[in-house]
Amino acid sequence: MELDGRVAVVTGAANGMGRAFARRFAEEGMKVVLADIEDEPLRRAVDELRAEGHDAIGVPTDVMSREAVVHLAGAALEAHGRVHLVVNNAGVEGYLDGPLWEATDRDWRWTMGVNFWGVVHGVQTFLPILLERDEGHVVNTASMTAVARAANMYGVTKHAVLALTETIHGQLQERGARVGISALCPGIIATRLFQGSRNRPAELRNEREPPGAAEGRELRRRMHERLSAGMAPADVATILVRGIRERRLYILTDHEWDERIRARTDDVLNGRNPDLAR
């Protein structure tokens, strides 16, 4: 896929991987539309790219709202008339405060709302635009937890994103479309993923703390430290661009999860219960 001179839309673009993707696309000669729920970091990201001579605009967007994503598409088309590449990247760590049966409806609505429904809204809105001209590519950010065993609500959402992407890939092939789609599965990346609760809407916050709230905060702290030593988002952007050009469905960032992926696959094929010690 040729990138130079084309238009990319990236959600979750004010920080972390999304910001790195927008920068890399701009360096490839693309016009970039950055979307994020955080207004000020979004403005800084756009200003930084513009200061370097890139064509960039920012559109504040809450991907949980289909109307907001439709507005994002409208802004991109108004600015550039076309869209060629869409990266549904916005995500949060979600509920980590105990077993899933103790999660509230608000926990589910927040975690699924961003991680899964945000991707659905992106696909619903942008894929018809790409299909109208029968060109372009969609990237849905999943996770290595989507190809290994899920261990929490975040993993559940990412399995759903992967299944959605695989299904759409098959349906695009069936109709002979020249629009591609990829599932990006990052491993341990130096982002602020585990600080995603900062953007949890007030109406989706629980009225009282769950029993495991303290443990959840400690887990988020430890995981943030672990991610801080992870792969640089710019390196993920390089891997992503290569995967897009090769029109790969599965784009994995590394091989550190290979044994966990094999273990899950072997368990499924052999009808064997998972050994959580592995």
**Six-digit token string for 152:** 């929490």
* φ and ψ of 151, to 5 deg: -125, -5
| For the chain, the helix, strand and coil percentages under 3-state DSSP, each to the nearest 5 | 55, 15, 35
- Domain residue extents for the chain: 7-270
- The question of whether 154 is a catalytic residue gets the answer yes
Largest CA distance in the chain: 56
Residues forming a β-bridge with 139: 87, 182
Candidates 3.40.50.920, 3.40.50.360, 3.30.70.260, 3.40.50.720; correct CATH number of 7-270?
Answer: 3.40.50.720
Distance CA 18, CA 25 (A): 11
User: How wide is the angle at C-alpha 150 spanned by C-alphas 187 and 157, nearest 5°?
Assistant: 85
Q: What pTM value is reported for the model?
A: 0.94
According to DSSP, residue 265 is labeled H
Among 44, 47, 55, which Cα is nearest to 82's? 55
Distance CA 2, CA 202 (A): 42
According to DSSP, residue 247 is labeled T
Do the beta carbons of residue 127 and residue 179 sit within 8 Å? yes
Distance CA 162, CA 39 (A): 29
Strands across the sheet containing 31-36: 56-60, 31-36, 7-11, 85-88, 136-141, 179-185, 250-252
Distance CA 77, CA 144 (A): 33
Task: For residue 10, give every residue at least 6 positions away whose Cβ sits within 8 Å of its Cβ, in sequence order, or none.
Answer: 18, 21, 22, 25, 32, 33, 34, 35, 87, 89
**Six-digit token string for 76:** 């991109």
* pLDDT one digit per residue (tens) for the chain, 278 residues: 899 999 999 999 999 999 999 999 999 999 999 999 999 999 999 999 999 999 999 999 999 999 999 999 999 999 999 999 999 999 999 999 999 999 999 999 999 999 999 999 999 999 999 999 999 999 999 999 999 999 999 999 999 999 999 999 999 999 999 999 999 999 999 998 888 888 899 999 998 888 888 888 888 889 889 888 899 999 999 999 999 999 999 999 999 999 999 999 999 999 999 987 66
CA–chain centroid gap for 15, Å, is 12
Catalytic residue among 95, 117, 154, 257: 154
* Cβ neighbour number for residue 9 with a 10 Å cutoff: 32
